[in-house]
C-alpha cells in the first residue's frame, strides 16, 4: 500500500516524487517505458520559458513564471546544467512589432520581469548571425536552457535516494476506487495507494476518464526538430523565437546546454500518442522557417532530427489538482509547453495539496542534493589522474566522440534508477550522442550493459521492449573477457622522437618506415585492445595484392605489419586513447593501466582513420527504431563479437563495406533484400558488386534511396523511392521492403577532431589535413596518412602513403625541419576531380617522381587526365574508366617536375570525350 | 557467343570480353594482366570464389576468422560454409594453420587468418 502512486515518470512525475520526499510518505512512480523521461520530457525544446507567451490569467502563465523562478535552486541542488541565456522574439514586419508590444504587456501581467524591446542596432551586436531584416525583438532575460532528460533523471535519482520507488517497464492499465483506496492495475502487478497522481502525459485523459465524470480529451500534438552539429556552437547565444502564432510559439532556434543548436518544433495534431516519426515535409518546413531567423543556416551540419509529443488540450491550459468527483485522485494533465518550465511549480503545488490531505510528518532526512556521474571530459589534468587512480576504468574511453569512459557507463547503470537500455546510457552519459552516433561504441555499450545487468547481449535493447539490438544468441560467450591480442603492448617510451597516433594499417606502416629511416625512439598509441585497426574486422580477402602479391584477409595483412613492428622492437600501447595534441606536439593520452600520460614528441603522425557517416547525417525521416546500423558497426558485431545483428536486411549505400556486409550477412544466414544506391553508379569496387551482390542474386537498386523508416521498437520496414537526376525522390515510386535491419554504407569521414584542435588545416574536398608531398600538414612536425588524410579504396595504397609520412617524420626529428626555406607549388582540383592529395608540393623537392591521387567526381569512360601548370598542359594520361569508387593515381616524372620551378599552380582535370 | 564479365581477381576489376564456343572460353580481351585470362577461363568453366568467414570458439568472445586458401567452386560455397561451421578448433592457432584440409574433397583448405592463443 502506497501513500502516493504517480502514473508516469516524465518531468512532472519525477519532480513530484522528489518533492514528496520531503515528507514521510511511501511513494511509487510507475512508468510504462524502460526509462524515465522517455516521452515528451526527452524530446522538447529544452527551454525554461520566461512566461510572456502564456495567456494572462491562465494556469500556464502562473505556473510558468513560478516554475522559472525555482530553476536556479533546483538545478544547483541536482547538478543539472542551466544557462540563463535569455530569449528574443523577433519581428519582421511592423505588424509583428505591434504583436511584440502586446506580448510584452502580457508578460508584465504574468509577472515576467526585465523584458524590453531591442532595436536592430543592438540586435546585431547581441546576435550577429540573426537575419538583418529583423525590425525589433522582445528580449526576456529570464529565459533559460537546460537538459530536460538530465533534469528528469536527476529528479528520479534524487527521489529514489529519498525513498521513492521508481518502477520502470510497468504499464498502468486501469485505476479503480475500492474500499477507500485506489487500486492500480498494471501490466505485471496490482498496486494500492491512498492517493493517485495522473502524470501520464498524452494518456492523462485515459486515467482521468476512468475515475471522473468530468471527461477531458488530450489531443496529441507532434513537434519535430533538427539538431545542428556542435561545430556551430556559439552561432546563437539567445533562444530566438519568431512571433507566436495560433499553433504555438513557432519555430525557434536555440542553443542547447550540449553545444548543439535546436531548430523546431512543428505543431502537428495527430491521433496516435506514440507516433514520434519524423517526416520530410515537416523537416523541410523547419529548415525553411528557421532560415528566416538564421539566413546562414548550415544545412550540411544538420546531424539529426527527432520528434516529441505534447499533451495538448483544446482549452490549452494545464489541468492541475484533485478531481472533484474522485477524492484522492490528482491530475497533472494537459501538460504541454511550458510544462518543463512549470514542472517544479506544479510539483510544489500538488505536493502541498497532497500533504494537506494526508497530513504526514516531515522527513528530516530529506537530502535535496544529487551528485552527477563524474564526467571525465570536464575534469582537469589532476582530476583525471586522480579519477583513474581511484578507478582505472576512467582510463578507458568507450565513446570516443564525446570522450565517455567505461567508468561513467558502468556508473550510469549502477546508480539508483540506473540505465537499462542503450538509450538510457546515452541520456545519462552522452555515450553515442556524438558525431558517429554510436557507430563505434554501440557494441561496447551493449557488452557493458549485458555484464552489469547479468543478461545476454541479445536481450539488450535500444529503448525497451521489442527494440533488441541483436538477432542471435551466443550462450558460449564469456561474460567478461578483455579482447587483448598481440600482447597488451604497454611499453614506455619517454618523449619519443616520432609519435604515431593510431595502430591501423597507416600507423603501423608509418612507424615501421620511421624505424627503417634510422629513428629508434618511436611510440605508437592505439585506442583498441589490439593493433591492426579496422583490418581486424575486415575478415574478407582482397588485401595485399599489390604489396605482397597475395590475396590476404584484413587480419592477415595487419599481422604482417604487426610482426614487422614487433621484430623491430617498436614501442606501442594499446587500449590507449589520445585526448589531445597541441600544435607544439605535446600529446596527452589515457590508458586504464598507465593512466593519463603526456609525451613531448619530436614529430607526430596522425593515423586515426575514419568513421562512417551516420543516419542523422542523411536525415532519413521516420521512426528512431532499433535495427539501424552503419555497415562497419554490423561488421564488428559479426566478425569481432560473434553476433548477427539482423535477419532481413536492406542496405543503403553501395560503399565497399556495405557490399562486403551484404555477402557477410548472407553467409551468416540472413536474407539481404536489396542494396539501395542514390547515385547512378556504385561507390564500391566493381569486383565487390560482382562477388558480393551478383553472386547471391541481391539486387542493386541504382538511382534509389530510402525515404522512410518504419517500426516502433525494432525496425519493421523501409520505404525505397526512385530519385530524379537531382537526387530528389520521385513521388509514386515508393516501394516498401519489410525488414528488421537497415545497414548504412553511405560514406566515410576522416576523423580529424584531434587534428583540428592541434591547429591542422583541413581540406573541404577530402575532410582530411592539407598536406605536402611528404605528408606534412600546415603545422610543422605534424604528418598525416591513411584514412585520416583521405579515404582510400585499397589498404595497399595506405601502406605506401604511410611509409612516406613515416620517413618524413623521422627526417623532421633529425633536422627539425625538412630542409630549405619552403616555397610551394599549389595543386588544385579541376573539372571532374575531387580531393587531390597532396595539395601542395615544396619546390625544392621537384626532382623525384610525384604521385598524385584523387577521386573522379563521376564515372568517365575513355577519358583523359590532364595536368596543367599555370594553365599550360604539362602531362596527360588516358584511362579506359574512371569511377568515384576507385582512387585514381597519376605520377609526374622527374623530367616534367624539373620544368615547374617558376610555376605556381598545378591543376588536375578530366577531359571527357 | 560473346559475354562481358568483370574480373574479380583483384580490386581493379577489369571489364573482360570473352568468346565462348562449346562451353569453353576461346578468347579473352580487356584483361590488364594474365590473371584476367585465367579468371575468365575458370569463370566460363566453373566459377570459383574465395570464401571468408569466422568460427565461434566456445568460451571465448573473439571469433576466429578463417578463409579458403584458394577459390572454392561457387556452387559449393554453401556446403563449404557448413563444413567450416563444424570445425572443432584446437587452440592455439597461428595465421595460415590449416584447420580443414581438402574441404568437400576439393583441393581447397580452410586456414586460420588470425593468431589465436
The CATH number assigned to the domain holding B87 equals: 3.10.530
The whole-number pLDDT of residue A486 equals: 38
**Closest CB to B114 among A478, A481, A555:** A555
Instruction: Give the Cα-Cα-Cα angle A809, A814, A817 (nearest 5 degrees).
Output: 65
Chain B residue with the nearest C-alpha to that of A447: B61
- What is the residue whose three cell numbers read 591480442? A485
- Chain B residues in contact with chain A using a Cβ-Cβ cutoff of 8 Å: 5-13, 15, 49-54, 56, 58-63, 65, 67, 74, 81, 95-96, 113-117
- Residue percentage of chain A with pLDDT more than 90: 87
| Residues ≥6 apart with Cβ < 8 Å to A68 | A48, A49, A50, A51, A142, A144, A341
Asked if the Cβ–Cβ distance from B11 to A556 is below 8 Å, we say no
- Mean pLDDT in residue range A46-59: 97
Average predicted confidence (pLDDT) for chain A: 94
Strands B98-100 and B110-112, bridge-based pairing: antiparallel
* A648 HSE (CA, 13 A, CB side): 9
Query: Is residue A664 a contact partner of residue A694, using CB atoms and an 8 Å limit?
Result: no
- What is the residue whose three cell numbers read 587480419? A555
Q: Is residue B117 part of a domain?
A: no
Residues pairing with B77 in the sheet: none
Query: Does residue A818 have a pLDDT over 70?
Result: no
- Mean pLDDT in residue range A215-234: 94
The whole-number pLDDT of residue B21 equals: 87
Query: Is residue A645 a contact partner of residue A669, using CB atoms and an 8 Å limit?
Result: no
Query: Does residue A248 have a pLDDT over 70?
Result: no
Active site residue A49: yes
The whole-number pLDDT of residue A480 equals: 63
Say which CATH class A483-612+748-819 falls into.
alpha beta
Cα(A709)–Cα(A707) distance, integer angstroms: 7
Domain that holds residue B108: 52-112
Cα(A523)–Cα(A497) distance, integer angstroms: 8
Q: Which of A666-670, A704-708, B17-21 is the least confident region?
A: B17-21
Q: Measured between CA atoms, how close is B105 to chain A, in angstroms?
A: 21
| Three-state DSSP state, A494 | coil
Query: Does residue A747 have a pLDDT over 80?
Result: yes
Cα(A443)–Cα(A508) distance, integer angstroms: 25
Q: What is the largest CA-CA distance in chain A?
A: 101
A637: number of Cβ within 10 Å:
25
Task: Give the pLDDT confidence of A443-498 residue by residue, as tens digits.
Answer: 999 999 999 999 999 999 999 989 999 999 888 887 666 544 434 455 667 789 99
Asked if the Cβ–Cβ distance from B11 to A541 is below 8 Å, we say no
Q: Is residue B57 part of a domain?
A: yes
Which positions in chain B touch A483 (Cβ < 8 Å)?
61-62
pLDDT band with cut points at 50, 70 and 90 for residue A624: confident
Burial of A851 (0-12, 13-18, 19+ CB in 10 A): middle
pLDDT band with cut points at 50, 70 and 90 for residue B13: confident
Alpha carbon dihedral B48, B52, B56, B61, in 10-degree steps, equals -170
The whole-number pLDDT of residue A488 equals: 47
Say yes or no: do domains A2-358 and A376-459 share a fold: no
- What is the residue whose three cell numbers read 611510440? A523
Chain B residue with the nearest C-alpha to that of A887: B12
Is there a single domain that holds both residue B60 and residue B13?
no
Query: Does residue A646 have a pLDDT over 50?
Result: yes
Task: Give the pLDDT confidence of A399-457 residue by residue, as tens digits.
Answer: 998 899 999 999 999 999 999 999 999 999 999 988 788 889 999 999 999 999 999 99
Query: Is residue A325 a contact partner of residue A349, using CB atoms and an 8 Å limit?
Result: no
Q: Is residue B18 part of a domain?
A: yes
Q: Is residue B39 part of a domain?
A: yes
Task: Give chain B's domain count.
Answer: 2
Burial of A356 (0-12, 13-18, 19+ CB in 10 A): exposed
Residue A475 at interface with chain B, using a CB cutoff of 8 Å:
no
Asked if the Cβ–Cβ distance from A476 to B56 is below 8 Å, we say yes
> Buried (b) or exposed (e) across B95-106, using 16+ Cβ within 10 A?
bebebbeebeee
Topology adopted by domain A376-459:
Arc Repressor Mutant, subunit A (1.10.10)
Residue A488 at interface with chain B, using a CB cutoff of 8 Å:
no
Query: Is residue A760 a contact partner of residue A776, using CB atoms and an 8 Å limit?
Result: no
A701: number of Cβ within 10 Å:
18
What is the CATH superfamily name and number for domain A2-358? FAD/NAD(P)-binding domain (3.50.50.60)
Is there a single domain that holds both residue B106 and residue B64?
yes
Instruction: Report in angstroms the alpha-carbon separations of A201 from A9, A37, A339, A880.
Output: 10, 11, 10, 63
pLDDT band with cut points at 50, 70 and 90 for residue A552: very high
> Buried (b) or exposed (e) across A229-257, using 16+ Cβ within 10 A?
bbebeebbebbbbbbeeeebbbbbbbbbb
Task: Give the pLDDT confidence of A846-873 residue by residue, as tens digits.
Answer: 888 999 999 999 989 899 999 999 999 9
Nearest Cα neighbor of A173 from A194, A187, A183, A191 is: A187
Query: Does residue B95 have a pLDDT over 80?
Result: yes
| Three-state DSSP state, A426 | helix
Asked if the Cβ–Cβ distance from A539 to B65 is below 8 Å, we say yes
| Three-state DSSP state, A78 | helix
Cα(A209)–Cα(A217) distance, integer angstroms: 9
Is there a single domain that holds both residue B31 and residue B75?
no
Chain B residue with the nearest C-alpha to that of A552: B113
Query: Does residue A190 have a pLDDT over 80?
Result: yes
Cα(B59)–Cα(A449) distance, integer angstroms: 19
Q: Is residue B60 part of a domain?
A: yes
pLDDT band with cut points at 50, 70 and 90 for residue A351: very high
Topology adopted by domain A614-746:
FAD/NAD(P)-binding domain (3.50.50)
Sequence spans of domains, chain A:
2-358, 376-459, 483-612+748-819, 614-746, 821-913
- Mean pLDDT in residue range B24-38: 88
Is there a single domain that holds both residue B20 and residue B66?
no
Residues pairing with A723 in the sheet: A729
Nearest Cα neighbor of A766 from A781, A774, A758, A777 is: A777
Is there a single domain that holds both residue B72 and residue B87?
yes
Query: Does residue A815 have a pLDDT over 50?
Result: yes
Asked if the Cβ–Cβ distance from A642 to B95 is below 8 Å, we say no
Q: Is residue B25 part of a domain?
A: yes
- What is the residue whose three cell numbers read 557494441? A443
Say which CATH class A821-913 falls into.
mainly beta
- Mean pLDDT in residue range A292-297: 96
Cα(A14)–Cα(A25) distance, integer angstroms: 15
- Mean pLDDT in residue range A14-39: 97
The whole-number pLDDT of residue A249 equals: 74
Amino acid at each position: 500500500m502506497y501513500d502516493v502512486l504517480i502514473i508516469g515518470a516524465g518531468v512532472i512525475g519525477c519532480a513530484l516524487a522528489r518533492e514528496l520526499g520531503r515528507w514521510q510518505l511511501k511513494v511509487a512512480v510507475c512508468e510504462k517505458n524502460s526509462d524515465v523521461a522517455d516521452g515528451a520530457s526527452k524530446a522538447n525544446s529544452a527551454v525554461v520559458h520566461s512566461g510572456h507567451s502564456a495567456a494572462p490569467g491562465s494556469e500556464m502563465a502562473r505556473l510558468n513564471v513560478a516554475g522559472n523562478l525555482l530553476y536556479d535552486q533546483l538545478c544547483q541542488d541536482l547538478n543539472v546544467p542551466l544557462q540563463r541565456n535569455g530569449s528574443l522574439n523577433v519581428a519582421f514586419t511592423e505588424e509583428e512589432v505591434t504583436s511584440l508590444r502586446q506580448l510584452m504587456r502580457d508578460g508584465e501581467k504574468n509577472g515576467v520581469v526585465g523584458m524590453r524591446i531591442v532595436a536592430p542596432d543592438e540586435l546585431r551586436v547581441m546576435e550577429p548571425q540573426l537575419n538583418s531584416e529583423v525590425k525589433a525583438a522582445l528580449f526576456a532575460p529570464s529565459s533559460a536552457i537546460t537538459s530536460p532528460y538530465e533534469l528528469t533523471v536527476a529528479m528520479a535519482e534524487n527521489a529514489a535516494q529519498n525513498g521513492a520507488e521508481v518502477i520502470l517497464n510497468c504499464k498502468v492499465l486501469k485505476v479503480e476506487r475500492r474500499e477507500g483506496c485506489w487500486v492500480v492495475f498494471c501490466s505485471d502487478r496490482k498496486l494500492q495507494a491512498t492517493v493517485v497522481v495522473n502524470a501520464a502525459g498524452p494518456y492523462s485523459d485515459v486515467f482521468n476518464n476512468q475515475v471522473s465524470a468530468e471527461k477531458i480529451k488530450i489531443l496529441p500534438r507532434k513537434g519535430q526538430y533538427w539538431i545542428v552539429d556542435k561545430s556551430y556552437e556559439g552561432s546563437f547565444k539567445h533562444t530566438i523565437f519568431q512571433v507566436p502564432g495560433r499553433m504555438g510559439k513557432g519555430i525557434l532556434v536555440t542553443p542547447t546546454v550540449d553545444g548543439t543548436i535546436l531548430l523546431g518544433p512543428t505543431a502537428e495534431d495527430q491521433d496516435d500518442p506514440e507516433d514520434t516519426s519524423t517526416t520530410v515535409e515537416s523537416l523541410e518546413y523547419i529548415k525553411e522557417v528557421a532560415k528566416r531567423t538564421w539566413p546562414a543556416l548550415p544545412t550540411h551540419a544538420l546531424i539529426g532530427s527527432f520528434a516529441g509529443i505534447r499533451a495538448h488540450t483544446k482549452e490549452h491550459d494545464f489541468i492541475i489538482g484533485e478531481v472533484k468527483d474522485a477524492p484522492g485522485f490528482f491530475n497533472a494533465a494537459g501538460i504541454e509547453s511550458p510544462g518543463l518550465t512549470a514542472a517544479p511549480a506544479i510539483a510544489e503545488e500538488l505536493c502541498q495539496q497532497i500533504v494537506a490531505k494526508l497530513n504526514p510528518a516531515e522527513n528530516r532526512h530529506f537530502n535535496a542534493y544529487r551528485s552527477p556521474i563524474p564526467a571525465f571530459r570536464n575534469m582537469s589534468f589532476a582530476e583525471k589522474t586522480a579519477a583513474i587512480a581511484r578507478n582505472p576504468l576512467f582510463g578507458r574511453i568507450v565513446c570516443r566522440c564525446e570522450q565517455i569512459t567505461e567508468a561513467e557507463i558502468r556508473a550510469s547503470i549502477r546508480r539508483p534508477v540506473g540505465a537499462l537500455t542503450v538509450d538510457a546510457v546515452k541520456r545519462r552519459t552522452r555515450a553515442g550522442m556524438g558525431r558517429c552516433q554510436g557507430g563505434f561504441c554501440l557494441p561496447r555499450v551493449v557488452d557493458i550493459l549485458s555484464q552489469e545487468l547479468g543478461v545476454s547481449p541479445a536481450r539488450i535493447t535500444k529503448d525497451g521492449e521489442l527494440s533488441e539490438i541483436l538477432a542471435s544468441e551466443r550462450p558460449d560467450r564469456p561474460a567478461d573477457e578483455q579482447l587483448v591480442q598481440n600482447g597488451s603492448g604497454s611499453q614506455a617510451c619517454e618523449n619519443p622522437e616520432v609519435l604515431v597516433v593510431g595502430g591501423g594499417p597507416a600507423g603501423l606502416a608509418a612507424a615501421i618506415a620511421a624505424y627503417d629511416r634510422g629513428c629508434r625512439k618511436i611510440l605508437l598509441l592505439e585506442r583498441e585492445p589490439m593493433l591492426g585497426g579496422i583490418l581486424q574486422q575486415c575478415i574478407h580477402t582482397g588485401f595485399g595484392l599489390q604489396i605482397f602479391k597475395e590475396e590476404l584477409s584484413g587480419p592477415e595483412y595487419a599481422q604482417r605489419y604487426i610482426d614487422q613492428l614487433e621484430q623491430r622492437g617498436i614501442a606501442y600501447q594499446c587500449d590507449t586513447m589520445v585526448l589531445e595534441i597541441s600544435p607544439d606536439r605535446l600529446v596527452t593520452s589515457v590508458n586504464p593501466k598507465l593512466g593519463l600520460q603526456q609525451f613531448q614528441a619530436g614529430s607526430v603522425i596522425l593515423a586515426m582513420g575514419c568513421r562512417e557517416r551516420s543516419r542523422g547525417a542523411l536525415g532519413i525521416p521516420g521512426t528512431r527504431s532499433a535495427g539501424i546500423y552503419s555497415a562497419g558497426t554490423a561488421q564488428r558485431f559479426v566478425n569481432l563479437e560473434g553476433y548477427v545483428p539482423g535477419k532481413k536486411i536492406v542496405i543503403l549505400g553501395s560503399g565497399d563495406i556495405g557490399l562486403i556486409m551484404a555477402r557477410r550477412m548472407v553467409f551468416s544466414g540472413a536474407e539481404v533484400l536489396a542494396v539501395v544506391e542514390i547515385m547512378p553508379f556504385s561507390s564500391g569496387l566493381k569486383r565487390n558488386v560482382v562477388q558480393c551482390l551478383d553472386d547471391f542474386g541481391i539486387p542493386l537498386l541504382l538511382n534509389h534511396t530510402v525515404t522512410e523508416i518504419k517500426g516502433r521498437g525494432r525496425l519493421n520496414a523501409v520505404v525505397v523511392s526512385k530519385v530524379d537526376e537531382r537526387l530528389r525522390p520521385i513521388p509514386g515510386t515508393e516501394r516498401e521492403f519489410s525488414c528488421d535491419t537497415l545497414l548504412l554504407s553511405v560514406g566515410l569521414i576522416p576523423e580529424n577532431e584531434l587534428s583540428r584542435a592541434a591547429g591542422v588545416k583541413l581540406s573541404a574536398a577530402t575532410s582530411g589535413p592539407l598536406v605536402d608531398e611528404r605528408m606534412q600538414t600546415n603545422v610543422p612536425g605534424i604528418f598525416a596518412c591513411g584514412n585520416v588524410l583521405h579515404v582510400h579504396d585499397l589498404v595497399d595504397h595506405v601502406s605506401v602513403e604511410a611509409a612516406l609520412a613515416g620517413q618524413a617524420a623521422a627526417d623532421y626529428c633529425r633536422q627539425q625541419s625538412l630542409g630549405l626555406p619552403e616555397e610551394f607549388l599549389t595543386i588544385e582540383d579541376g573539372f571532374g576531380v575531387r580531393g587531390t592529395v597532396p595539395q601542395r608540393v615544396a619546390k625544392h623537392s621537384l626532382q623525384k617522381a610525384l604521385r598524385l591521387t584523387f577521386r573522379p567526381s563521376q564515372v568517365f569512360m575513355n577519358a583523359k587526365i590532364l595536368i596543367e601548370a599555370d594553365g599550360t598542359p604539362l602531362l596527360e594520361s588516358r584511362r579506359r574508366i574512371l569511377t568515384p569508387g576507385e582512387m585514381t593515381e597519376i605520377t609526374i616524372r622527374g623530367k616534367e617536375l624539373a620544368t615547374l620551378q617558376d610555376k605556381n599552380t598545378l591543376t588536375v582535370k578530366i577531359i571527357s570525350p | 557467343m560473346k559475354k562481358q564479365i568483370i574480373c574479380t581477381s583483384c580490386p581493379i576489376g577489369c571489364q573482360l570480353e570473352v568468346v565462348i564456343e562449346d562451353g569453353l572460353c576461346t578468347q579473352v580481351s580487356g584483361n590488364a594482366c594474365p590473371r584476367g585470362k585465367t579468371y575468365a577461363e575458370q569463370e566460363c568453366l566453373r566459377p570459383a570464389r574465395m570464401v571468408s568467414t569466422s568460427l565461434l570458439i566456445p568460451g571465448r568472445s573473439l571469433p576466429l576468422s578463417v578463409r579458403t586458401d584458394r577459390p572454392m567452386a561457387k556452387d559449393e560455397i554453401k556446403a563449404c560454409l557448413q563444413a567450416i561451421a563444424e570445425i572443432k578448433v584446437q587452440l592455439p592457432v597461428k595465421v595460415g594453420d590449416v584447420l580443414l584440409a581438402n574441404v568437400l574433397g576439393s583441393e581447397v583448405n580452410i586456414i586460420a587468418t588470425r593468431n589465436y592463443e
